[in-house]
Chain A
Amino acid sequence: MEETISFKLNGKKTGFTTDPNQTLLWVLRNHFGLTGTKYGCGIGFCGACTVLINNEPVRSCMVPVSEASGKSVVTIEGLTKKGKLHPLQKSFIDHDALQCGFCTPGIIMTAAGLLKKNPSPTPEEIISGLEDNLCRCGAHNRIIDAVQTAAKEMKGGK
């Protein structure tokens, strides 16, 4: 029952033969070695596995790889362009907005999706956008500030 599935992964066209029902999360991690996308709960409740599919934040533990077919998938590794950090990544470092770092990629990807839709969110909009991403270390307030700083920077065209 294997199929050839093609999609754009971090800007590059990719095609491979696989069981289309395989979970996107495990395909990204095990087939492509993109281990920045994390397993946290397996049922879409923590957000550690969030990636962008056509600019929409998606819980990769909840979708079969076939869902990505013909679309564009961006993982945390794809945010860094030619070694240059994405403004969100830079801003998370500047605000020291992380501790153990395990939820960080998923939160950054969720925020990236949010900023694509709403380039200048209010703090309330950031909170509601990130509400379903869990962070156990308690970096929440710094994360909210980091997203706001990144939004300003991105609007400035930097």
Chain B
Amino acid sequence: MKKNQIRTAVPSPEQTGTGIKRRSFVKLLGGGIFIFFQPWSILDLSAIPADQARSLTKDYNAFLRIAEDGTVTCYSGKIEMGQGIITSLAQMMADELNVSLEKVKMILGDTDLCPYDQGTWGSLTTRSFGPNARAAAAEAKAVLIELASAQLGVPASQLEVREGVVIDTKNPQNTVSYGQLAKGQKLEKYLDVKPAVEDHTKFTYVGKPYKHSDAKLKVTGEAKYAGDMKLPGMVFARILRPPSHGAKLTSVDVSGAEKVEGVKVVRDGDFIAVVSENRDRVDEAIAKIKADYSFDELNVNDRNLKEWMLNAESRVNVVKTDGDLIIGRQQSAKIFEHTYNDPYLAHCAIETHTALAVFEGDKVTVWASTQSPFGLQDGIIRELGLTREKVRVITPFVGGGFGGKAAYQQGVEAARLAKLTGKPVMVVWTRDEVFFYDTFHPAGVVKINSGIDNSGKITMWDYHVYFSGTRGAETTYDVPNAKTTSYSENPKVFRVHPFGTGPWRAPNNNMNTFARETQADIMASAAGIDPLEFRLKNLKDEKMIACWKSVAETFGYTAGKTPSGRGIGIACGTDAGTWVATMAEVKVDKSTGKVKVVRVACTQDMGLCVNPQGALIQMEGCIAMALGYTFTEELKFEGGKILDRNFDSYQIPRFSWMPKTDCVILDRKDQAPQGGGEPAIITVGAAVGNAIFDATGARLFRMPFTRERVLEALKRV
């Protein structure tokens, strides 16, 4: 590894941006050895939205602290929402610093303590933050060895570390522990690091399976989420909400709410809330506010969505071109033209968006369930006109995110209300509010025009994706003449989405993989070739071929032309740097349209897998969650009015839906780690759709595959 610069001099305020904040660490955390690094040096600046880029203070922030008891605390701006990074990041730190895993503590998502982070999404924690954090930890170890060298009076080259103890290799009695080195210290070290690929043969913890380290807290009810925080004098708030997106308040009568015992009405323009120490009272009071609205809604609903999108004016962008489509068409013996579509999807984390805010003097502290603590900090700075030092966001355990908590409106609301009332204010969105303000997976349409020659080779691939984004829109297959065109919203000309949209686990890749893999299946069937053979015939990508071989073996796949009546479907794709291949078996009740997924096998190549247990569980979770977008999830709406407002009408997967799952992660220790929280979700819809076709000959082009749509498709057979 390249030797990086280590400085002990305190950087000047120009270098730190916020010198005062930095110096408060020792006061906040007590003594020990502090390792700081510059988070901005590890960020891909081009990937950061402009409104967040201003957060990049080029500050040195705490990264590691070695305490007098030998405990290593790692500070990361990432958050824990069930994806298990509290375990896997600790594994990485333990390996780099040569300490036992139990000695590593993780402090996540605290803007006062942790290095800046864009947010926890995109399966980036392990593949982007991980290598940099590991490089910084390796440098931190060098600092500790330097200190030990001085203390033990032997050169650093003569020292090695075992379980947090620095040992003189020539005189093994001559030792000093990290804790002893930290004793009485208030030492700050500043690192400028560059990541390097680590030697995997030296890993003790990385690459081995560990269960969720937070499990005990979570099964006993001790784990604290944002809503579990409590402060003296805390009040609950409910905020007046419009009936639809695009509605504007014209008049309001709050007198009914004011009469509810113990309730205070708070108003700042159109922002109207009720607060009380009693949660039931605010529910009662908010229902008593009478409000009138004017409406400005788009003429779109869940039924006319596809036509709406295909007719919408948009920004057209050719993403990729290979060869010449005209030549491709000439080379094609058969041409296939199909249109696919999918709906808006809600995230449905079981914890609703929650935040507690309190002002102490002119500084606000907010505990929030968010995937974006620094984004929320920015949001509060903008809304309340505060400086960065005056806003602290703390992220306790987050009860599920899936992209939906990249948004942080509830935290801004809590801060606003804390300022207006002078009290600690807890905002717990109701499920109804979450359904209204969710940043939904954007609905989309995909049109594919493709061709094959007489041997079953794909000769042409003309791919058009409307409004749902290009993640996963690449061809995957080896096609000489291919083009990908994206049509995206141009809000100045035409508003397509009637409400907010945002990332939903593996954003838009579910839709692109559904379209691509269904089209591949249609072509295989028309060519009279087994669908796996067809794919292998058209693939050059060795990683994908390896995934196919593995999953076929796990599944016990035998070749057959479709529809074979067996109910077996397959699909593959890439997401977040990871390769995935999936096989599914279904049973279709032709009289009711009910489809039961009997079993699913899935193999992924995710490079170095830091925690195989955690990654396996992410794959299982992806398959389970995917059954929702596959079978039932479809947001019902009329213009800006969201009609699904709770789990009574919006159905997410349940226990009885679960197939038997067999997940395999290929051993790729010598390669850089890739994403694990999302990839396995992308292939399930297509594999199940293809399995329905294999079982019945009925082809589905629209997700979700509701019973009605399955029955309709059966009629067309």
Inter-chain contact total with CB atoms closer than 8 Å: 176
Would you give the shortest CB distance from B224 to chain A, in whole angstroms?
7
Q: Would A101 and B223 count as touching, CB distance under 8 A?
A: yes
B560 part of interface (Cβ distance < 8 Å): no
**CB neighbours of B223 from chain A (8 A):** 101
Query: Which residue in chain A gives the minimum CB-CB distance to B657?
Result: A140
Q: Would A76 and B221 count as touching, CB distance under 8 A?
A: yes
Would you give the shortest CB distance from A20 to chain B, in whole angstroms?
11
Q: Would A138 and B621 count as touching, CB distance under 8 A?
A: yes
Contact with A along B26-43 (1 / 0, CB 8 A): 000000000000000000
Would you give the shortest CB distance from A37 to chain B, in whole angstroms?
7
B278 part of interface (Cβ distance < 8 Å): yes
- Say whether, besides A76-B221, A142-B620, A40 and B215 are in contact (CB < 8 Å): no
B21 part of interface (Cβ distance < 8 Å): no
- Say whether, besides A40-B352, A43-B648, A48-B350, A141 and B222 are in contact (CB < 8 Å): no
B466 part of interface (Cβ distance < 8 Å): no
Q: Would A38 and B620 count as touching, CB distance under 8 A?
A: no
Contact with A along B234-272 (1 / 0, CB 8 A): 000000000000000000000000000000000000000
* CA–CA, A89 and B56, complex, Å: 43
B624 part of interface (Cβ distance < 8 Å): yes
Q: Would B221 and A34 count as touching, CB distance under 8 A?
A: yes
**CB neighbours of B617 from chain A (8 A):** 96, 99, 139, 142
Q: Would B402 and A136 count as touching, CB distance under 8 A?
A: yes
- Say whether, besides A46-B350, A93-B211, A131-B654, A104 and B613 are in contact (CB < 8 Å): no
Q: Would B221 and A105 count as touching, CB distance under 8 A?
A: yes
**CB neighbours of A96 from chain B (8 A):** 211-212, 215, 613, 617
**CB neighbours of A80 from chain B (8 A):** 220
Q: Would A77 and B220 count as touching, CB distance under 8 A?
A: yes
Query: Which residue in chain B gives the minimum CB-CB distance to A127?
Result: B655
* CA–CA, A156 and B339, complex, Å: 58
Partner of B82, one of A33, A39, A100, A144: A100
Q: Which of B65-119 contact A (CB under 8 A)?
A: 81-84
* CA–CA, A141 and B221, complex, Å: 21
B664 part of interface (Cβ distance < 8 Å): no
A148 part of interface (Cβ distance < 8 Å): no
**CB neighbours of B648 from chain A (8 A):** 43, 45
Query: Which residue in chain B gives the minimum CB-CB distance to A103?
Result: B350
Q: Would B398 and A93 count as touching, CB distance under 8 A?
A: no
Q: Would B646 and A41 count as touching, CB distance under 8 A?
A: yes
Interface size on A, residues (CB 8 A): 59
* CA–CA, A143 and B655, complex, Å: 9
Q: Which of B480-530 contact A (CB under 8 A)?
A: none
**CB neighbours of A134 from chain B (8 A):** 348, 350, 647, 652, 654
Q: Would B219 and A92 count as touching, CB distance under 8 A?
A: yes
**CB neighbours of B654 from chain A (8 A):** 131-132, 134, 140
Query: Which residue in chain A gives the minimum CB-CB distance to B404?
Result: A136
- Say whether, besides A35-B221, A46-B350, A89-B219, A99 and B82 are in contact (CB < 8 Å): yes
Q: Would B218 and A104 count as touching, CB distance under 8 A?
A: yes
A75 part of interface (Cβ distance < 8 Å): yes
* CA–CA, A92 and B217, complex, Å: 11
B622 part of interface (Cβ distance < 8 Å): yes
Q: Would B397 and A101 count as touching, CB distance under 8 A?
A: yes
* CA–CA, A85 and B430, complex, Å: 32
B399 part of interface (Cβ distance < 8 Å): yes
B8-16, B225-233, B686-694 - interface stretch: B225-233
* CA–CA, A37 and B220, complex, Å: 10
Query: Which residue in chain A gives the minimum CB-CB distance to B627?
Result: A138
A130 part of interface (Cβ distance < 8 Å): yes
Partner of B215, one of A34, A43, A92, A131: A92
B173 part of interface (Cβ distance < 8 Å): no
B390 part of interface (Cβ distance < 8 Å): no
**CB neighbours of A140 from chain B (8 A):** 624, 653-655, 658
A108 part of interface (Cβ distance < 8 Å): yes
Partner of B348, one of A29, A75, A136, A144: A136
Q: Would A99 and B621 count as touching, CB distance under 8 A?
A: yes
* CA–CA, A124 and B654, complex, Å: 13
**CB neighbours of A29 from chain B (8 A):** 228
Q: Would A144 and B655 count as touching, CB distance under 8 A?
A: yes
**CB neighbours of A58 from chain B (8 A):** none
Query: Which residue in chain B gives the minimum CB-CB distance to A83?
Result: B220
A17 part of interface (Cβ distance < 8 Å): no
B400 part of interface (Cβ distance < 8 Å): yes
**CB neighbours of B349 from chain A (8 A):** 100, 102, 136
A119 part of interface (Cβ distance < 8 Å): no
* CA–CA, A46 and B81, complex, Å: 18
* CA–CA, A96 and B209, complex, Å: 11
Q: Would B221 and A77 count as touching, CB distance under 8 A?
A: yes
* CA–CA, A136 and B430, complex, Å: 17
Would you give the shortest CB distance from A145 to chain B, in whole angstroms?
11
B334 part of interface (Cβ distance < 8 Å): no
* CA–CA, A105 and B397, complex, Å: 14
Would you give the shortest CB distance from A61 to chain B, in whole angstroms?
10
- Say whether, besides A23-B280, A41-B431, A136-B400, A89 and B647 are in contact (CB < 8 Å): no
Query: Which residue in chain A gives the minimum CB-CB distance to B628?
Result: A136
Partner of B280, one of A26, A103, A137, A138: A26
Would you give the shortest CB distance from A74 to chain B, in whole angstroms?
12
Would you give the shortest CB distance from B240 to chain A, in whole angstroms?
18
Q: Would B351 and A40 count as touching, CB distance under 8 A?
A: yes
Q: Would B225 and A138 count as touching, CB distance under 8 A?
A: no
* CA–CA, A30 and B81, complex, Å: 24
- Name the residue in B222, B399, B613, B654 with the highest tally of chain A Cβ atoms < 10 Å from its Cβ: B399
A54 part of interface (Cβ distance < 8 Å): no
* CA–CA, A85 and B398, complex, Å: 23
Q: Which of A79-121 contact B (CB under 8 A)?
A: 79-80, 85, 88-89, 92-93, 96, 98-105, 108
Q: Would B219 and A98 count as touching, CB distance under 8 A?
A: yes
Q: Would B220 and A46 count as touching, CB distance under 8 A?
A: no
Contact with A along B420-436 (1 / 0, CB 8 A): 00000000101110000
* CA–CA, A108 and B220, complex, Å: 10
A22 part of interface (Cβ distance < 8 Å): yes
* CA–CA, A92 and B221, complex, Å: 13
B159 part of interface (Cβ distance < 8 Å): no
| B interface residues (Cβ-Cβ under 8 A, vs A) | 81-84, 211-212, 214-225, 227-228, 230, 278-280, 348-352, 397-402, 428, 430-432, 613, 617, 620-625, 646-648, 652-656, 658, 660-661
Known A42-B430, A131-B655, A137-B82; further 19 A-B contacts with Cβ < 8 A: A36-B221, A40-B431, A41-B647, A42-B431, A79-B220, A80-B220, A93-B219, A99-B84, A99-B621, A100-B401, A101-B214, A101-B219, A101-B223, A102-B349, A102-B350, A127-B655, A136-B400, A138-B620, A138-B653
Q: Can you give 15 contacting A-B residue pairs, CB < 8 Å?
A: A38-B225, A43-B646, A46-B647, A77-B221, A92-B215, A101-B214, A102-B350, A102-B400, A108-B219, A127-B656, A134-B348, A138-B622, A138-B625, A139-B621, A144-B655
| Closest CB pairs A-B (n = 8) | A36-B221, A138-B624, A100-B82, A102-B399, A101-B218, A99-B82, A138-B621, A76-B221
